[in-house]
Amino acid sequence: MERFDTLSSVAVPLLRDNVDTDAIIPSREMTSVAKTGLADGLFAGWRYRTLGGRDPDPAFVLNDPAFAGATILLGGANFGCGSSREHAAWALAEYGFRAIIAASFNPIFRGNCVRNGIVPVALDAAALAAAPQPLTIDLAAQTVTDAAGTAHGFAIDAEAKAMLLGGLDAIDLTLRDRPAIDAFRTADRLLRPWIYL
């Protein structure tokens, strides 16, 4: 997983509440179990004029040239609700989003974001949409700063922060404790040799 330190980008305002994972990546767009090939299906039901088509709807914010290459997405409350499909985080990451700022997140979706290198920032995205762009996210300082220099602090749990700052997946995070794990196994092998065949 790619490390996350700081990120500066214009933010895409998709200020809708209760954006579910089926809106993020409709099930018809999930044709494999791979983490790739999903970016074209991101928000497909809103992005394109016809169901299953690829003719961009100019009214949808991702099709606005002003937001081309943006890596921050602004959302409403309860972002990522619905099913627990990790494909939603995969599609967002493949499209290029590294952070999502929303009033709140579905807990499973928030975890999927962290495991896929996307920082879930719980803040009032509507206020930030009106702030001078670009926005800068500093994960170590846990701040989002607008172009005028106004900083907004946000909370993130220590494990998620460590994973994102270090570019670590859950296994990598566990392996940071390898010396303690090895010491336990060595001592346990002496106490209970019969379980180590």
The predicted-structure confidence for 115-141, as pLDDT tens digits, reads as follows 999 999 999 999 999 999 999 999 999
How many domains, the chain?
2
Mean pLDDT of the chain: 96
Q: How far apart are CA 167 and CA 156, in angstroms?
A: 16
Q: What is the mean pLDDT of residues 10-32?
A: 96
Q: How far apart are CA 140 and CA 137, in angstroms?
A: 9
User: In the 8-state DSSP scheme, what is residue 171?
Assistant: H
Q: What is the mean pLDDT of residues 81-105?
A: 96
Q: Which of 130, 22, 2 is nearest to 71 (CA)?
A: 2
Do both 77 and 151 map to the same domain?
A: yes
Do both 13 and 100 map to the same domain?
A: yes
Do both 15 and 74 map to the same domain?
A: yes
- Tens-digit pLDDT profile for residues 138-182: 999 999 999 999 999 999 999 999 999 999 998 998 999 999 999
User: In the 8-state DSSP scheme, what is residue 69?
Assistant: T
Do both 92 and 115 map to the same domain?
A: yes
- Tens-digit pLDDT profile for residues 155-166: 999 999 999 999
pTM over 0.85: yes
Q: Give the pLDDT of residue 197.
A: 81
What's the domain range around 197?
169-197
The DSSP annotation for 71-103 comes to -EEE--TTBTBSS--THHHHHHHHHT--EEEES
Structure confidence at residue 14 as a pLDDT band (50, 70, 90): very high
CATH code assigned at 156: 3.20.19.10
Q: Work out whether the CA dihedral 97, 99, 102, 105 comes out positive or negative.
A: positive
3-class secondary-structure state, position 138: strand
